[in-house]
Chains A and B, each alone.
Chain A
Amino acid sequence: MSRIATCFAALAEQGRKALIPFVTAGDPVPSVTVPLMHAMVEAGVDVIELGMPFSDPMADGPVIQLACERSLAGGTTLLRVLEMVTEFRRDNDHTPVVLMGYLNPVEAMGYEVFAERAAKAGVDGVLLVDLPPEEAESLAPLFDQHGLDRVFLLAPTTTEARMQIIAAAGTGYLYYVSLKGVTGSGALNVDEVAAKVETIRKHAKLPIGVGFGIKDAASARAISRVADGVVVGSALVQRIADHADEPEKIPAQVSQLLAEMRAAMDESE
């Protein structure tokens, strides 16, 4: 069983939900990322989504755009991101790591080389925002071959017919984008999310993570009641931005928010 499947199975057994942070690798400097990953695990996260920076992050709001700019300005490349995962794996063999980003840097490296290097580094899954299942046909077998899970997005606009396509194409978990908009925008409507997650469950057996618009302990708790995983990104990345001038403080700052979310999610009803 893959690390991701093992992780979700164990959580289900305990009746707990996955806390899934997103941070951009190399933001604001490369040296922060691995200590930050370990600190987040300490704070109680279950899966780490690690952003591969891209110059033109079309689906992201200003917070993550700026994170990409800081990371690229600091010299972070896709190869460097993979090295960070290798380094993380020296001290952590259990926390799944999912790379998240845009297709072009992966194309530039080459699908085959990327899949091989990612697997070797200890990556467990890949989510490419601008790669819907229809365009993933040549990449999917390579990911299978190297044991990488294919995480796909679902959105409020996704029809039931497409849910079936996406559920069939995805492995590991599914990522439901809770609102129409870019990352870090809008207000969360938990009832709408709950209804949509119910519909997705009719078509998919995979665990469902929900992201976009979760910014504090209360929203994390609310989403944990309706989904299998809670993804939090911009709220963490904003904390990183606030401390970009004193990066040594970043792991503690980010962990503090995650620990609050963890506690709220684990509270009994």
Chain B
Amino acid sequence: MKTIAISAALAGALTLGGFGAAQAWEPTKPVEFVVTSGAGGGTDNFARLVQAIITKHKLMEQPIVVVNKGGGSGAEGYVYGKGKKGDPNEVIFGTNNAYLLPYVAKLGYKYTDLTPVAAMALDEFLLWVKGDAPYADAKAYIDAVKAKPMGFKMGGSQSKDTDQTLTSMIQDATGAKWIYVPFQGGSAAAVQLAGGHIDSNVNNPNENVGQWKAGQVKPLCVFAPEQLAKSEPIHDGKGWGDVPTCKSAGIPIESFRMPRTVWLPADVPADAVTYYANVLEKVSQTPEWKEFIQRTAQTAKFMKGQEFTDFVAKDDAANRKVFEAEGWVVK
């Protein structure tokens, strides 16, 4: 507690000093990158790559320390951020769970305990079935599921998280009904589909690409407004760019994507937010970052300031609607 008080006081003093000298804010001690997933998770890769790029291109003077606080589906990291109120040397990496988690579980933080900095990419969601499944397109599969309600199994990572939300949206939009099985992560859901233990999943490209290469799973459609960027062929001459959008394939969902987000604790100086947003924007322009985006078939989209806040508001409302309909919102 004492250290927090001191660092908050220091931060305050620095801010005042900063105003006095009319200089832009810059970190004066090592910066901590708080990762809201376990080591090896998607958010972990994201944060460590950003760290590696910043170090390589010397975008920041101060050294960076990465810490994993992935407990409670990432809530541990956000609660930690709440405790660091006013400390601009704590940068928190996450997804849209930053503002969605407090709806579905009783946690020790609120969305207002965080200061939005930027979103760096949008991770895509695809509808996948087993490689040898008899469905040529998304419509054929949905029709089969509709014909046998609760006869098919949809797997996903965790409960009341993006995968289950999307499943619920598809159910609403099409009238199909699955048994949803929550696994520990996307890689488990990928292997379960390859082994034929579940009928479909809605994994991110990166989570299923290994199985797709081997022809064990195949994508039916992507939940994006337009088709993904062209890529090298992955299996059977087809690549990411050949996957039709779900809307065109008969599932009336315009778009479902997960932002890769960056936050600061509440009550930090506005200069600090601008500082990090600028550093991250430079990161997003490096060849290493572009290569990462392409390899993981995410969509490059850098958002900061008002654009990011607007995105959050829209995404929050869309997800909240599903949570309320499903009765997941905790009081």
Are A and B associated in one complex?
A: no
Listed in ascending order, the chain B residues whose CB lies under 8 Å from chain A are none
